[in-house]
Structure 1
Amino acid sequence: MELPPPTTPSSLVFKIHRREPELLRPAKPTPHEFKHLSDIDDQEGLRCFSLNAREGPVKVMREAIATALVFYYPMAGRLREGPNRKLAVECNGEGVLFTEADAEVTLQQLGVAPHLPYPYIDEFLFNVPGSSEILNYPLLIFQVTRLKCGGFTFAFNYNHAMCDALGLVQFCSAVSEIARGADAPSVLPVWERHLLSSIDPPKVTHQHLEYVDTAPGVVDHSSEEQLVDRSFLFGPKELSTLRNLLPPGEKFTSFEILTAYLWKCRTIALQLPPSQEVRVMCTINARQKLVNPPLPRGYYGNAIVCPVALATASNLTRNPLGYALELVKKAKAQFSRDYISSVASLMVTKGRPGYVTARTFELTDITHVGFPELDYGWGEAAYGGPADAGCPEDLACGYLLPFANKKGEKRIIATFSLPAIAMERLSKELRTLFNFNKPTAGHLGSQMSIKYSL
């Protein structure tokens, strides 16, 4: 089912009152030292900020963050760049940015729905001038906003070079435990970034299409058009329909099936030239392959790799779904400890190249990361997760997000950003296969329960 974007009454006047942003320092003195990031952390594609949103009150959250920073003291430092663009964090305790605000609206007036795009994110997270810089600026930016109904939003930016989604949830979990009265996190943070740095001498053992453009000079004109965001709901019925399109007997994960299908649908919607190369980038958690030795419990750095599947637009759109699925599965099969080491070596030998963004669709599965389960002491959140795509340059991003209906039945929300005309083609493609009716806001209300407790 297609989920309509959150709607707000046309008469709604959004007023927000902010205090000046403050630097929130660790609650106790912390070591002043330099810590090098791993070669997985400091690649060009992770030098960006990502948006997230939660709920929680001002005083408790301010104190909980300050206490958590005693344990996660590198997060209160500043990134510096050395020779060969190598990143290190100066642990100087300068602090993170924290803003307190009041909004003269209620959650119900905002029409907040638990999917992207999150409304009024520019109001709920103040864009402090210069704060999105990667080097020499705070690594975390928070804003807690009180609403008229008694609720709160808790929104923040984080520097992706410091941690991935699982590392971020680990930090947020520490904040939530302290907010609920703990003196220390139950899982203590571990740095150990050398475990994901290049071997000496570096050795690139794989072809890394995520960093190598096999069709240089071809421009993705779709990135130059005004994009619209929409979300689509996939449950057991939709996944069963997709599995029925595949040869019997073969086993594929839901992530593989949705990645292949959405990649194909997106390419159909864009109506690209038949010979144009298209890619899908699969963001994979590398922790499961790091077993000898494993990453220590509490490691919160980036441990992700992004293998790529590649095809021409013609081959992808004209072949059965199984064709795209085999490409996705083959790309994922590259994933190994040696592959991770090869990525780190490539960063060192090639000057830390960025991802190939033109003609690339990145799909990130965060259904099991744990954002919605974080409890800061005020009950279940109305929404927990990314507030926008947050993708660097012209990389087209999508998310797979968790969702449960009133009965507790689990679903998957898939998000898209496309030019308006292509989005209509995508919607039509999905409705044709799944017999979706184009929804109204009322349909959404019957499917979703937005809980909000203080």
Structure 2
Amino acid sequence: METLTVNGGVIMVKKVPPVFVTPESETPGGFYFLSSLDQAIPFLMQTIYVFRASSETVADVLQQSLAKALVHFYPLTGAMTLDSEGRFVVDCSKKSVAFVEAVANCTIDMIGDLRVPDPDITRKLVYMDPNVKSFLDLPLLTAQVTKFRCGGFTLGLSISHTVADGVSAMAFVNSWAEIARGGSPAAPCHDRRYLRARVPPILRGPYDDFVQIADMSDMKSLYEKERNISRMFTFSPEKIEAIKQAALADGRLQGCSTFSAVTAVVWRARSQVLNMKPAQLTKLRILVDIRSKFKDPLPSNYFGSLVTSTCCLTTAGELMERPISCTVEQIRKACQLVDEEYVRSRIDYIDVYRPPLASVGTLVISSWTRLSFGSTDFGWGDPTQFGCGDLARELCVFLPEGEGKKGIVVVMALPESAMTAFQELVDQM
């Protein structure tokens, strides 16, 4: 029994030992190739779906339909390993996924708004193998169904970003849901040849996101001394419009997208509240979906990580002293760099040099505003809430404000004093 005190109440979650779900029928064995783009994002995506209704059979239905879904999404049943050259590959001989049933002693409302990551809540609702000691030990997929007293349930998932990006993960979850309702979704494409590195490589770099930044501002100490907290900030359509007008005021720009406007404000404010010195390099990495970047489009059902990043690099002094129009323009130009040649050159570059990524002075923006997590119906209606689990300290996620609303919710983590200052800046906007 795991307990947690929230708002004066005690939440208790009782988990039964996991069962291991295998594909319903035979799946390919051997080793599953991972592209350089897959290799570049080795972390877990933890997500929590909230459903207000269920039945006594909910766990059985999800477990049985998962076995059917895994026939098509079989790489998720494998184990991460290294090939002879030290690159990640999936060993598809394992063929099982941990599935956990749990019961909570409270109503769903007591767990609060899951869009704000809470490590304690995440640990209660998302199963993590306690025996894991390294990245190679991490399961590529785990699932936990937690029933609540109100009759609702949550589905907590942990999926390796090395195997699937957000779009591919949603394709898996929505296919699983369709199977649970008795449907027969289309199978995904596992042809990994599309994103292999070229021989010989053709390099278009260098890439600013691989620049190693020195911590001139002692930010590491701030993160170590203070409690890191997560918070969400709602940018209403009115607030977004005000930011756009500020960016257009000096005549430098002809237009300003919502994404560029919100990203510019977040990057500038975060750099300010982390007390970056004027000479401190600061890096903005923007995760970009590359599905639309190819002249000959990739299959729409391609399963994998079709995400790369583009980067803005400047000093904190330049970032905060120049008008916001300069920041927006820098973001727009970075996004415009991403075309098919950029992607293929980046694949080649990573394959040749295997450059490390570091978090010092870095903000990573990942927009989830177009993911279809609101239509994941396993038979008891669409989810009423969606949480993104724990966040890495450099990661900032954009979520839609909610059904029928046109704003953006920004979710991020900061040291406590920096978060207080960031809140004040946003409130003053």
TM-score (normalizing by structure 2): 0.91
Which residue of the partner structure matches residue 270 of structure 1? 274
State how 1:199-218 maps to structure 2 within 5 Å: 199-213=198-212, 215=214
State the alpha-carbon separation in 1 of the partners of residues 137 and 128 from structure 2.
Answer: 16
Describe the superposition over 1:143-195 as per-residue Cα deviations: whole angstroms up to 9, x where unpaired.
1111111111100111111010001001011101011111x31x311112221
The corresponding residue for 2:196 is: 197
Write the deviation string for residues 28-51 of structure 1: whole angstroms up to 9, x where unpaired: 2222232211121122xx112121
Looking at structure 2, the residues matched to 330 and 63 of structure 1 have their Cα atoms a distance apart, in angstroms, of 48
> Which residue of 262, 281, 288 maps to 2:292?
288
Shift of 1:396: 0.9
Check 1:130–1:339 CA distance in 2 against 1; reply closer, same or farther (3 A cut). farther
Cα separation, partners in 2 of 1:265 and 1:218, compared to 1, 3 Å: closer
Give matches, 1:313-392, under 5 Å. Answer: 313-350=316-353, 352-389=354-391, 391=392
Answer whether contact 2:213 2:361 (CA < 8 A) is retained.
Answer: no
Equivalent-residue separation in structure 2 for 1:216 and 1:200 (angstroms): 37
Instruction: Give the counterpart letter for 2:85 in structure 1.
Output: N
Aligned residues: 413
What pairs with 1:23-422 in structure 2 (closer than 5 Å)?
Answer: 23-43=20-40, 46-55=41-50, 57-110=58-111, 112-118=112-118, 120-131=121-132, 133-135=134-136, 137-182=138-183, 184-185=184-185, 187-213=186-212, 215=214, 220-221=219-220, 222-224=222-224, 225-247=226-248, 248=251, 250-292=254-296, 294-350=297-353, 352-389=354-391, 391=392, 395-404=393-402, 408-422=404-418
Give per-residue Cα distances to partners, 1:265-316, cap 9 Å, x unaligned.
1111122111111111111101110232x11121011111111101111111
Shift of 1:218: 7.5
Equivalent pair of 2:18/2:99 in contact (CA under 8 Å)? yes
Give 3-state SS (helix, strand or coil) of 2:407's partner: strand
The alpha-carbon distance between structure 1 residues 274 and 13, as it changes in their structure 2 partners (threshold 3 A), is: same
C-alpha contact 1:372 1:385 (8 A) present in aligned 2: no
Is 1:430 the equivalent of 2:426? yes
Q: CA separation in 2, counterparts of 1:131 and 1:189?
A: 29
Which whole-Å CA distance do the structure 1 matches of 2:7 and 2:358 have between them?
A: 40
Cα-Cα RMSD: 2.0
Q: Counterpart of 1:363 in 2: which secondary structure? A: strand
Deviation at 1:384? Answer: 2.0
- In the TM superposition, structure 1's runs of 4+ consecutive aligned residues that sit over 3 Å from their partners are 130-134, 214-220
Distance 1:375 1:275, change over 3 A: same
Distance 2:223 2:16 in 1: 36
SS at match of 2:27: coil
In 2, the alpha carbon distance for the partners of 1:55 and 1:92 equals 33
Contact 1:347–1:353 (8 Å) recurs in 2: yes
CA shift digits 1:226-251 (9 cap, x unpaired): 21111111121001110110225612
Contact 2:188 2:301 in 1 (8 A): yes
SS at match of 1:338: helix
What SS does structure 2 have at the residue aligned with 1:105? Answer: coil
Report the Cα offset of residue 347 of structure 1. 1.7
SS in 2 for 1:120: helix
Task: Return the alpha-carbon distance in structure 2 between the equivalents of residues 173 and 432 of structure 1.
Answer: 40
User: Which 5+ residue runs of structure 1 have no aligned equivalent?
Assistant: 1-6, 434-454
Identity percentage of aligned residues: 26
Amino acid at match of 1:285: D
**Corresponding residue number in structure 1 for 2:12:** 15
Q: Which amino acid in structure 2 is aligned with residue 197 of structure 1?
A: R
Unpaired stretches in structure 2, ≥5 consecutive residues: 52-57
Q: Output the amino acid matched with 2:203.
A: V
